[in-house]
């Protein structure tokens, strides 16, 4: 029997282990389907290729919009946003001890957490429930 070729969406979702590559929320607990987010936006010549796509929840996708840089208030610099294909999440972010909030560890992490609002109230509420259910934080 011939193996079915997986779609680009399936490839990106599997690579992301079914989680938003910014806020790490699981697609399996989201009420809206996740997007294939163009890390380099299409409006800035970003290609719909695996190296430029990230699995993203609607909230992160909306907040990122067509940005590639954001302001870090600590260093007062504009820095590139977290790039899921070039950066490792754990190099730039960490969870608070209770697992409900994302901390930016670097200029990139802080600027991205602020720009994409990675600690939106609904996300924090979801994380609280997922922690209690033993489903969060993810194993990185
Ligand atoms: Zn997200």
Portion of the chain with pLDDT greater than 90, in percent: 95
pLDDT value, residue 14 = 97
- What pLDDT, in 10s, does the model give residues 25-41? 999 999 899 999 999 99
Among residues 91, 127, 135, 129, which one has the least CA distance to residue 110? Answer: 91
Give the helix ranges, DSSP H, for 1-140. Answer: 8-15, 58-64, 89-92, 107-115, 121-132
State the pTM of this model: 0.95
- What pLDDT, in 10s, does the model give residues 2-13? 788 999 999 999
The whole-angstrom distance between residue 137's C-alpha and the CA centroid of its chain comes to 14
Count Cβ neighbours within 10 Å for each residue of 24-43 and write b for 16 or more, e otherwise: bbbbeebeeebbbbbbbeee
- What's the CA-to-centroid distance between 116 and ligand 1, angstroms? 8
CA atoms within 13 A on the CB side of 80: 8
- What's the CA-to-centroid distance between 62 and ligand 1, angstroms? 9
- What's the CA-to-centroid distance between 43 and ligand 1, angstroms? 21
What's the whole-number average pLDDT of the chain? 96
Q: Quick one: tokens of 53?
A: 């796509």
**Looking at the chain, how many residues does it have?**
140
- Rounded to whole angstroms, the Cα distance separating 86 from 40 reads 12
- Rounded to whole angstroms, the Cα distance separating 104 from 112 reads 8
- What's the CA-to-centroid distance between 120 and ligand 1, angstroms? 10
- Is 109's pLDDT higher than 80? yes
- What's the CA-to-centroid distance between 77 and ligand 1, angstroms? 24
- What's the CA-to-centroid distance between 3 and ligand 1, angstroms? 32
pLDDT value, residue 45 = 94
- What pLDDT, in 10s, does the model give residues 37-85? 999 999 999 999 999 999 999 999 999 999 999 999 999 999 999 999 9
- What's the CA-to-centroid distance between 74 and ligand 1, angstroms? 23
């Amino acid at each position: 029997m011939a193996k079915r070729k997986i779609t680009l969406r399936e490839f990106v979702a599997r690579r992301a282990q079914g989680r938003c590559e910014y806020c790490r929320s699981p697609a399996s607990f989201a009420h809206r389907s996740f997007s294939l987010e163009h890390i380099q936006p299409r409006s800035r010549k970003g290609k719909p290729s695996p190296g430029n796509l990230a699995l993203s929840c609607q909230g992160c996708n909306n907040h990122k919009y067509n940005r590639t840089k954001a302001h870090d208030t600590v260093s007062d610099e504009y820095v590139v946003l977290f790039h899921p294909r070039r950066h490792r999440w754990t190099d730039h972010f960490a969870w608070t001890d209770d697992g409900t909030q994302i901390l930016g560890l670097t200029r990139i992490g802080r600027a991205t957490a602020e720009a994409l609002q990675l600690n939106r109230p609904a996300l924090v509420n979801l994380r609280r429930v997922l922690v209690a259910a033993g489903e969060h934080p993810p194993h990185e």
